Amino acid sequence: MHHSRLKPYWMILPVVVFMGIFIYSILNTLIQSLGILPAAGLNEWTLSYYQAVLFRGDLFPSLQLSLYFSVVSSLLAVILGVLISALAVRTGFTRKKLFQIFKVPIIVPHLVAALLILNLFSQSGIISRVFYQLNWVQSPQQFPSVLFDPYALGIMLAYLWKEVPFVILMVVTIMEKIDGSIGEAAVNLGASKFKTFYRITLPLCLPTIYTSFLLVFAYSFGAFEIPFLLGMTSPKALPVLAYVEFTHPDLAHRPYAMALNGIMVVLSIMLTYVYYRIFKGDQKAKAGGGYQ
Amino acid sequence: MKNVLSVVTLLLLILSGIGCSQTPTPAPSSAQNQSFESALTKAKGTTVNFYGWGGDERINKWIDTQLAPNVKENYDITLKRVPMDIDQILNKSLGEKQAGKSKGSMDMIWINGENFYTAMKNQLLYGPFTQDLPNYKKYIDQNSKEVQYDFGYEIKGYESPYGKAQFVLINDSAVTPETPKNAQQLLEFAKKYKGKVTYPAPPDFTGSAFVRNIIYDIVGYDKIASIGDDKEKLKTAIQPAMDYLKELSPYLWQEGKTYPSSIAQLDNMFADGELVMTVSYNANSVAGMITTGRFKDTSRSLIFDKGMIGNTNYLAIPANASNIDGALVVINAILSPEIQASKYDPKNWGDLPVLDNNKLSSQEIELFSKIPLGKGVIPQDQLLSKRLPELPADLIPVIEEVWQSQIPGKK
């Protein structure tokens, strides 16, 4: 037996195991959403749970809310992240030790981010108290309530705090490299700094920017803790709706939760496909444009 | 090679899990009526994994510093507390059942109400076991409705009483001299302190109890109880209470457009002064909150004239528990006057005892009567005279759904 020939297979084993568990849970979700849960006495295949979920009044408001805050927060995160990266590269700030501070929010869990926002922005929070002490508001209640609000500002603040640094992490190294090599060449050939950024650096960074948008979007669309802690009672974000169904005391209700999860899975797959198309189109465009 | 083996084993386990989820699992074992003495011997030196709600630091501390050392000293049992919400406990239990795991990770669980109903319906519990416990036979009033029925569902020996809870409102007499005695006065109170009153959104356990208490006050407990199991009739009957909650909502925190998602958030906002009222399903919790300095000295419990909802909470043993003997011994110990008294002490937990006072000796009664009750608390006899039973477990989600569809965000 040749050890070396087997080596690659051994090395991908962890990934295989991980993917196995992942695919198993997705399959399990889909099976349960189709009404198969023997432990709760459900043994018949049916689409009735999807039907019930699709026709319940709160699905579309929830879906709308989830799409709204994940699209807006991800777009803002990407725009801010790219702008900060560009500024940091231009000013040489990336080489300073202090710049590494942007990594802190990436390490902090989302749950803690939600509590941080809660402590800062609630009406009994730090900012409201400072305003009150400075006599800018007559009582802490006058402080505008940015949490639990219909515009999901609290949720988006928490996501921005987490995601802007993530976008920076993804973009800044590549941007620095391009700026240092091709960018410099362009400047030497007489392009203005703005033109260099707009025509050279930014287009070359686009694949990374798309990827980071997709990652950030997929996370905020599917994650539960931040909308649970900072969202309104109604409408609930889609994952919160699924959680409430999942924790329904009647186990026969489980397929409803799984049908909601199934809808989220389908939407995520669709969005990934769209991303894949955009990404491929971009690759082709670039090949045609002769950058590579 | 070892790694590969473990990976293969893991894959096999996963695959066997897939297989098992397709086949029905056998019914749980029934109690073998073994003698308690043999359980005592077998339980020596073992560990009991106690799963239950862990959201109250004082309860956790009582289990860790009073209950656990007691069973270690008397029975040589290590009690391991695992904090977990009951819905997750049931999900875990169901998961273990699906996977056909016969030696489960949970030995003893804290449960009641709709969750007990669900656990029984899905055959997740071991039993009947209460008749095996000497202290159960000695100290518990077995004719009491609260010992026979849990939220209207017959217990049949699958649960042993752990503590008694009763719902109260809490405000601070230094901030709000008013003591609302019914739902109407609560509405006046909310109007006066506009934006500073609210309650947790159901399905939060305490928020759901608040809504039921309002239903009792507006519609009347007897009227609701007489409906029985008819969900449609229930929906019609509770409508006046829903109308009241709609009328109340514009005066609530955030103008009732949204509600706190948990009781912990409500307590925090009350402690911060963002709210002037909180609620609790533990009638004595205010004393403990004052002792730990979270609430002001002038905080106090309030009850409605028509009465407040109360329940008994219980301990049960999962059908696939690994250490049934240990769990039996610990549950028996919890039914002793010493442990119940230590639990009753507001300094520790302040939970109402479950023992029958008529069955206690005068010395045992003294264990309870010598405990100072603490600040802001309503005496036990007054609470018991205003105690209303819980509704049948399967009706509670119906009320929660009605609330969810009518109250939040609807203006």
Digit-coded pLDDT (tens) for A32-57 = 999 998 877 888 999 999 999 998 88
Asked whether residue A26 is domain-assigned, the answer is no
Asked whether residue B13 is domain-assigned, the answer is no
The one-digit pLDDT tens for each residue of chain B (411 residues) are: 444 444 444 444 444 434 333 333 334 444 444 589 999 999 999 999 999 998 888 899 999 999 999 999 999 999 999 999 888 899 899 889 888 888 999 999 999 988 999 899 889 999 999 999 999 999 999 988 889 999 888 999 999 999 999 999 999 999 999 999 999 999 999 999 999 999 999 988 899 999 999 999 999 998 998 887 788 999 999 999 999 999 999 999 989 999 998 898 899 899 988 899 999 998 988 998 998 899 999 999 999 999 999 989 999 999 999 999 999 999 999 999 999 999 998 888 888 899 988 899 999 999 988 988 888 999 877 888 899 988 888 788 899 999 998 998 755
Q: Scanning every residue of chain B, which has its alpha carbon at the shortest distance from the alpha carbon of A42?
A: B24
Query: Same domain for B356 and B207?
Result: no
What are the chain B neighbours of A39 within 8 Å (beta carbons)? 21, 24-25, 94, 97-98, 122
Enumerate the β-bridge partners of residue A43: A36
Q: Are B388 and B216 in contact (CB under 8 A)?
A: yes
Residue A1 burial (CB count, 10 A): 4
User: What is the pLDDT averaged over residues A5-28?
Assistant: 89
Q: Do B14 and A20 touch (CB under 8 A)?
A: yes
At B310, is the secondary structure helix, strand, or coil? strand
Query: Same domain for B174 and B298?
Result: yes
Please, which residues 392-411 of chain B have a Cβ atom closer than 8 Å to chain A?
393-394, 396-397, 404-405, 408-410
What are the chain B neighbours of A24 within 8 Å (beta carbons)? 14, 17-18
Asked whether residue A227 is domain-assigned, the answer is yes
Cα separation of the two ends of chain A: 42
A158: domain CATH number is: 1.10.3720.10
Q: Which residue in B260, B340, B299, B265 sits closest to B171, CA to CA? A: B299
* Candidate from B196, B272, B397 with C-beta closest to A249: B397
Range of the domain at A79: 59-235
Is 90 exceeded by the pLDDT of residue A284? no
In whole angstroms, what is the distance from residue B206 CA to residue B185 CA?
A: 21
A281 vs A178, A203, A275, A276, A286, CA distance in Å?
21, 13, 10, 8, 9
Q: Among all chains, which residue has been given the structure tokens 């700094």?
A: A193
B155 phi and psi, to 5 degrees?
Answer: -80, -35
Enumerate the β-bridge partners of residue B301: B170
Asked whether residue A99 is domain-assigned, the answer is yes
Nearest C-alpha of chain A: how many angstroms from B151?
Answer: 13
Q: Which residue in B117, B114, B151, B111 sits closest to B388, CA to CA? A: B151
> Number of structural domains, chain A?
1
What are the chain A neighbours of B245 within 8 Å (beta carbons)? none
Q: Per residue in A250-266, pLDDT tens?
A: 778 889 999 999 999 99
Q: DSSP H helical segments within B85-133, as ranges?
A: 86-98, 113-121
Element spanning B388, H or E: strand B387-388
Enumerate the β-bridge partners of residue B108: B50
Does B112 lie at the interface with A, CB-CB under 8 angstroms? no
In whole angstroms, what is the distance from residue B181 CA to residue B378 CA?
A: 14
Nearest-5° angle of CA A44, CA A263, CA A69?
A: 155
Q: How many Cβ contacts (< 8 angstroms) between chains A and B?
A: 106
Asked whether residue B12 is domain-assigned, the answer is no
Q: What is the mean pLDDT of chain A?
A: 87
Range of the domain at B295: 166-310+388-406
Asked whether residue B16 is domain-assigned, the answer is no
What are the chain B neighbours of A247 within 8 Å (beta carbons)? 85, 87-88, 91, 203
Asked whether residue B211 is domain-assigned, the answer is yes
What are the chain A neighbours of B117 within 8 Å (beta carbons)? 249
Asked whether residue B49 is domain-assigned, the answer is yes
Please report which confidence band the pLDDT of residue A181 belongs to, taking 50, 70 and 90 as the band edges.
confident
Q: Token pair for residue A70? A: 């994940």
Asked whether residue B19 is domain-assigned, the answer is no
Q: Scanning every residue of chain A, which has its alpha carbon at the shortest distance from the alpha carbon of B89?
A: A247
pLDDT given at position A195: 83
**Four-residue CA torsion sign, B176, B178, B181, B186:** negative
Whether the bond into A109 is cis, omega within 30 of 0? no
What are the chain B neighbours of A233 within 8 Å (beta carbons)? 201, 258-259, 261, 408-409
- The residue type at A177: K
Rounded (10°) CA dihedral B135, B138, B139, B143: 120
Asked whether residue B22 is domain-assigned, the answer is no
Q: Do A10 and B25 touch (CB under 8 A)?
A: no
What are the chain A neighbours of B259 within 8 Å (beta carbons)? 233
Q: Which residue in A143, A234, A151 sits closest to B195, CA to CA? A: A143
What are the chain B neighbours of A41 within 8 Å (beta carbons)? 122
Asked whether residue A54 is domain-assigned, the answer is no
Q: DSSP label at B318?
A: B
Query: Same domain for B299 and B364?
Result: no
Asked whether residue A113 is domain-assigned, the answer is yes
Complex-level ipTM:
0.73
Helix B396-406 to helix B113-121 angle (10° resolution) is 120
Interface test with A, best of B87, B253, B400 (most A CBs within 10 A): B87
Contacts of A223 (CB under 8 A, 6+ apart): A110, A239
Q: Do A17 and B24 touch (CB under 8 A)?
A: no
- Higher pLDDT, residue A181 or A74: A74
- Higher pLDDT, residue B402 or A288: B402
Query: Same domain for B345 and B359?
Result: yes
> Number of structural domains, chain B?
2
Query: Same domain for B143 and B81?
Result: yes
Query: Same domain for B85 and B113?
Result: yes
Interface test with A, best of B258, B265, B266, B267 (most A CBs within 10 A): B258
Cα separation of the two ends of chain B: 65
CB half-sphere exposure, B285, CA atoms < 13 A: 23
Asked whether residue A35 is domain-assigned, the answer is no
Query: Same domain for B138 and B184?
Result: no
Q: Token pair for residue A256? A: 């409803």
Query: Same domain for B104 and B209?
Result: no
* Candidate from A27, A123, A234 with C-beta closest to B274: A123
Q: Are A158 and A117 in contact (CB under 8 A)?
A: yes
Please, which residues 289-348 of chain B have a Cβ atom closer than 8 Å to chain A?
none
Q: Scanning every residue of chain B, which has its alpha carbon at the shortest distance from the alpha carbon of A225?
A: B261
Contacts of A46 (CB under 8 A, 6+ apart): A34, A35
Q: Among all chains, which residue has been given the structure tokens 């008749």?
A: B131
Q: Token pair for residue B48? A: 């009991």
Q: Token pair for residue B18? A: 């897939």
DSSP string computed for A118-138:
HHHHSTTSHHHHHHHHTTSSS
Asked whether residue B131 is domain-assigned, the answer is yes
In whole angstroms, what is the distance from residue A130 CA to residue B126 CA?
A: 56
Q: Among all chains, which residue has been given the structure tokens 């009227």?
A: B223
Q: Token pair for residue A14? A: 């962890």
In whole angstroms, what is the distance from residue B209 CA to residue B218 CA?
A: 14
Q: Scanning every residue of chain B, which has its alpha carbon at the shortest distance from the alpha carbon of A40?
A: B122
Query: Same domain for B275 and B219?
Result: yes
Query: Same domain for B395 and B285?
Result: yes
pLDDT given at position B357: 86
Is 90 exceeded by the pLDDT of residue A10? no
Asked whether residue A52 is domain-assigned, the answer is no
A10 phi and psi, to 5 degrees?
Answer: -65, -40
Query: Same domain for B316 and B306?
Result: no
In whole angstroms, what is the distance from residue A66 CA to residue A238 CA?
A: 6
- The residue type at B58: R
pLDDT given at position A256: 93
Q: DSSP label at A251?
A: G
CB half-sphere exposure, B67, CA atoms < 13 A: 26
Query: Same domain for B204 and B325?
Result: no
What are the chain A neighbours of B94 within 8 Å (beta carbons)? 39-40, 251
Q: DSSP H helical segments within chain A, as ranges?
A: 3-33, 48-55, 59-91, 104-107, 110-121, 126-133, 153-178, 184-188, 193-196, 202-222, 225-230, 238-246, 254-289
At B160, is the secondary structure helix, strand, or coil? strand
Q: Per residue in A101-154, pLDDT tens?
A: 888 999 999 999 999 998 898 877 888 888 888 888 887 777 887 888 888 999
Residue B266 burial (CB count, 10 A): 27
Asked whether residue A244 is domain-assigned, the answer is no
B58: domain CATH number is: 3.40.190.10
In whole angstroms, what is the distance from residue B186 CA to residue A124 CA?
A: 23
